[in-house]
Structure 1
Amino acid sequence: MIIYAVSVGQGILAISPIPGADGDYAGDVQHLIEWKPAIVLSLVNEVELVAAGASGLWRDLVDAGSRWEHLPIHDFGVPDETFEEAWPDVSMGVRKALIGGGRILVHCRGGCGRSGMVALRLMIELGEAPDDALARLRAVRPCAIETDEQMRWALEAKREPAKFLRHES
């Protein structure tokens, strides 16, 4: 399992395929745990988790000290209403982790479209210029974002300066 990572804020934002996609779930999860993500965003549905042999992924990650967020998106799709309702809180937590130096992993089935869309959105929300963020993301994962609809959703991001995410003393 390859983790495609870029620096964002003071942290690392990465995208990857689902652990187990190539038939070695245990090895993939061990690699992921050794990478030490603070938060893992799973964008696959239950059927995809089961098909990859990853139905226990949430438990394995939580037991290893990571936070697991499950926000399924249909393959080649964009977020639905349920995702959109959860996104502001999830995004805020992820952006705070990145500003604080944390590691974030976003995965979908192949590690391209859905995960690329969400990673780009996070990069823009943290203040990066969309073209620069896309170029950096595609430099490590050329297939990041697969459809026009995914690109549109990512580009709808509102840029928020990092200072608004920090707790002022």
Structure 2
Amino acid sequence: MILYAVPVGAGILAISPIPGADGAYSGDVQHLIEWKPSIVLSLVTAAELAEAGAAGLGQSLVDAGTRWEHMPIPDFGVPDGAFEVAWPYISAMARRAFMGGGRILVHCRGGCGRSGMVALRLMIESGEAPDDALDRLRAIRPCAVETDDQMRWALKARRAPAVFLRHGND
């Protein structure tokens, strides 16, 4: 399992395909647990989790001490009303984790569209300029954010105060 990671604040943001996408679910989950994410955001549907043999992903992560948030979005889709209601809390929690050096993983089925959309939104909400954030994200995962609707949703982000701008050794 490959994690496509980029520094955000004092932390790390990664996107990836669903654990088990290549048929190695147990190994993928072990790799993920060893990476020690603070939060994993699963953007796949329950059916996609089942198809990948990953129906137990949430419990495996929680048992390992990772916060798991299941926020399904249909493939090639954008967040629905329930997602939008939950998003301010999820975003604030992720930004606090970045400030403390935490690691956040966002995954969808292929690790491109949905995960790229949410990762880009988090980067912007953490204080990055949209164009810079997109360039950094696509430098590690060129397929990040696949549709115009996904890009529009990501770009609705409100940038945080400059206190969130630090990443790496800046």
Category of TM-score, reference length = shorter chain:
over 0.9
Q: Give the drift of 1:40.
A: 0.1
In 2, Cα distance between equivalents of 1:53 and 1:127: 36
Partner SS for 2:96: helix
Displacement of 1:148: 0.3
Structure 1 residue 31: Cα displacement: 0.6
- Which TM-score applies when normalising by structure 1? 0.95
1:57 aligned partner, one-letter code: L
Runs of 4 or more above 3 Å deviation: none
Is the CA contact (8 Å cut-off) linking 1:126 and 1:159 kept in structure 2?
A: yes
| Unpaired runs of at least 5, structure 1 | 165-169
Distance 1:65 1:162, change over 3 A: farther
Match of 1:47 in 2: 47
Aligned to 1:102: 102
SS in 1 for 2:90: helix
* 1:99–1:162 Cα contact (<8 Å) kept: no
CA contact (8 A) 1:11 1:103 kept: yes
8 A Cα contact 1:15 1:105, kept in partner: yes
Whole-Å Cα distance in 1 between the matches of residues 23 and 126 of structure 2?
A: 35
Residue identity in the other structure for 2:105:
L
Aligned position for 1:167: none
Q: Normalized against structure 2, the TM-score is what?
A: 0.95
Match in the other structure for 2:168: none
Indicate the RMSD between aligned Cα atoms, in angstroms.
0.9
Separation in structure 2 between the aligned mates of residue 138 and residue 32 of structure 1, nearest angstrom: 22
The total of aligned residue pairs comes to 164
Secondary structure at 1:65's aligned position in 2?
coil
Q: 1:76-108 CA deviation, whole Å, 9 max, x = no partner?
A: 000000100000001100010011100000000
Q: 1:70 to 1:97 in 2, by over 3 A?
A: same
User: Identity of paired residues, percent?
Assistant: 77
- What stretches of structure 2 of length at least 5 have no aligned partner? 165-170
